[in-house]
Homo-oligomer: A and B are copies of this chain.
Amino acid sequence: MSRDLDIHVCIIEDDETIREGYAFLIGNTAGYKVISTYPSYEEAAKKIVHDNPDVILLDVELPGISGIDAIPKLKKVLPETYILILTVYEQDLLIFRALGNGASGYLTKNTSPQKIISAIHEVMEGGGPMSAHIARMVIQSFQRNEATPLTRRETEILEQIATGKSRKRIAQELFIDLETVKSHIKNIYHKLNVHSKADAIKAAKDNKFI
């Protein structure tokens, strides 16, 4: 029998219609098997370890513990299991918290059935499935603000400061004089209108200058 080769999926989703819809969809696709479905993390917590799924489809808005907060708890008992977030929310904060907590993918609920299936496959093959708009937001989170008032050297030095290095050490590593570093820092403070390391770092990060 080929059942052992199937990808084992669990679904945690409070809306019964959606939950059973996904279960039906996935369960009727060759190569996939739905082991169990739960309406909340609390319900899942008891038995999901024994289900030992390959992939969990997880909603973010759940009664009780939210999907976001459930991720680390699930990863703790099932470290090898991939967690795919399936939600209507496209807010940056939720996305980054989900990924930071250990989710391996993030899909919005308008994702077509075939794409959900292929996302499950993709995550098993070493991918990181994301809806198009989510991927854009993730990529944007890496990008700098081109309209920085800081010069290259200033940006470089501010980055070094943000790693906790002292001015002296920065000077040594950049092969310039300590006085030069101090000059750059003064200019940085003026441009950012701050009077301390911490405020400069915060201002620069808020504006994506570093």
Contacts and interface: CB of A to CB of B under 8 A. Distances in A.
A200 interface: yes
Given A132-B127, A132-B128, A133-B127, A144 B100 contact: yes
A130 interface: yes
A109 interface: no
Given A142-B96, A146-B76, A164 B127 contact: no
A146 B202 contact: no
A75 B197 CA distance: 30
Contact of A99 (B104, B122, B139, B165): B139
Interface in A147-178: 161-166, 169
Contacts of A103: 139
A110 interface: no
Given A132-B128, A133-B126, A105 B139 contact: yes
B142 A197 contact: no
A133 B142 CA distance: 17
Nearest to A106: B139
Nearest to A205: B163
